Amino acid sequence: MNLCIDQGNSRTKVALMTDEGKMINHFIYKQFSSVDVERLFDLYDITDSIISSVVNIEAAIVNTLHRRSQHFVLFDHMTPVPIVNKYDTPHTLGQDRLAAAVGAKSLCPNENLLIIDAGSAITYDFVTDKGEYMGGNIAPGIKMRFTILQRMTKKLPLVETEENELIPLFGKNTRDAIAAGVIRGIAYEVKGYMRTLREKMDHFQTFLTGGNAPYILNNVRTSRTEKREIRYEKNLVLIGLNTILIHNKTASLKE
């Protein structure tokens, strides 16, 4: 069994997966340490592991994973991946973005792919049907936009929205006006990327992932075409990490 760890800015996602890509279990930690790693190895039949992080990883976590795994991958810009990375500065590319691209490609190997990760920031990444990662864009996330509106003005309140809230087209009060401006604005961003790609190519698949994806999902899916083109994958980064682990494990066995 494979242990896949995605350490983000505010939480750590963990999945137990098979080489065939089946997810056995998954967990979310607000705080994650080597003690949690030891506990996972004690509870489950884990043989191999991979960790990706957008923050500094504790040395104790890395040491424990290395000690208890038959095959361990510390995912960084030097790690071999099963797609071609054409980013000009691969050392600055977030591992979560690259892992999500690999995950999407493993699920739709012959498609052009738009990968949207709605987390603290929103990233838009593109992978060709030939498996070439062509780069992407970074924009402020939902919470960031709400916070900026409140902090950069004197009278606007800090707004929070519910995950399944259907946002109006136009707000009839200040709270709804802010919610609609932010959520609808992101929805139109997404539609704009999709419309541009639709004009440039015959086929593509959009993947939507990230902790804030459900906030915008219902506000983007407004037509039959968009419903077909948008695929929500909650654990896309973890799927990608598992694919990268298997790719490296297979390569090492051939050596």
Per the annotation, the verdict on 96 as an active-site residue is: yes
- In whole angstroms, what is the distance from residue 157 CA to residue 218 CA? 24
Among residues 6, 48, 96, 117, which one is catalytic? Answer: 96
Q: Which residue has the tokens 């990375």?
A: 85
What are the residues whose beta carbons fall under 8 Å from the beta carbon of 5, sequence distance 6 or more?
A: 12, 13, 14, 32, 49, 50, 51, 52, 53, 65, 241
Burial class (CB in 10 A: 0-12, 13-18, 19+), 162: exposed
- In whole angstroms, what is the distance from residue 121 CA to residue 40 CA? 30
Distances (CA, A) of 130 to 151, 179, 204: 44, 39, 12
How open is the CA angle 201-202-203, to the nearest 5 degrees?
95
- In whole angstroms, what is the distance from residue 48 CA to residue 249 CA? 9
Q: Are 146 and 160 in contact (CB under 8 A)?
A: yes
The runs of H, that is alpha helices, within 69-158 are 95-107, 142-151
Q: Are 94 and 123 in contact (CB under 8 A)?
A: yes
Q: Which residue from 174, 176, 186 is spatially nearest to 140, judged by alpha carbons? A: 186
Residues labelled catalytic:
96
